[in-house]
Amino acid sequence: GAGVSQTPSNKVTEKGKYVELRCDPISGHTALYWYRQSLGQGPEFLIYFQGTGAADDSGLPNDRFFAVRPEGSVSTLKIQRTERGDSAMYLCASSLDRGERPYTFGSGTRLTVV
């Protein structure tokens, strides 16, 4: 596609529920990144994929968070047993490859856990 698409743009869920956030990167971009941003802070790294595999998942805060990219394009970030502290903007970005490249970001998913 022309840009990075994230759905939904907003998600409100109850504490304890499961959520899935979707990212559709730019066609042909092999690297895909997930970040989380709290109000007034910079984006915080969660995980990045090169192709189908997770090249670095060191930013995932705990085992409630999981991400997949089964066909090397669309990625899904999954959060189990959501907590109020998970409320944040979740940003996805893609780049052409894993070299020194600029990122193209999506518009983000604003997750609110009530």
Partner 1 sequence: SQQGEEDPQALSIQEGENATMNCSYKTSINNLQWYRQNSGRGLVHLILIRSNEREKHSGRLRVTLDTSKKSSSLLITASRAADTASYFCATGLTGGGNKLTFGTGTQLKVEL
Decide whether 82 or 90 has the Cβ nearer to partner 1. Answer: 90
Among 27, 39, 71, 84, binds partner 1 (CB under 8 A): 39
Among 1, 2, 28, 42, binds partner 1 (CB under 8 A): 42
Q: Is 66 in the site for partner 1 (CB under 8 A)?
A: no
Identity of residue 31: A
Which range touches partner 1 (CB under 8 A), out of 16-24, 69-77, 78-86, 92-100?
92-100
DSSP per residue over 58-77, as a string? TT--STTEEEE-TTSS-EEE
Structure tokens that stand for 18 in this block: 């499961």
Beta carbons of 23 and 92 less than 8 angstroms apart: yes
Among 41, 52, 80, 112, binds partner 1 (CB under 8 A): 41
Residue with tokens 């802070």: 41
Indicate the pairing of strand 109-113 with strand 88-95: antiparallel
DSSP 3-state assignment of 97? Answer: coil
Decide whether 76 or 104 has the Cβ nearer to partner 1. Answer: 104
> Which spans of this chain sit near partner 1 (rule: CB under 8 A)?
4, 31, 33, 35, 37, 39, 41-45, 48, 50, 55-56, 89, 91, 93, 95, 97-108
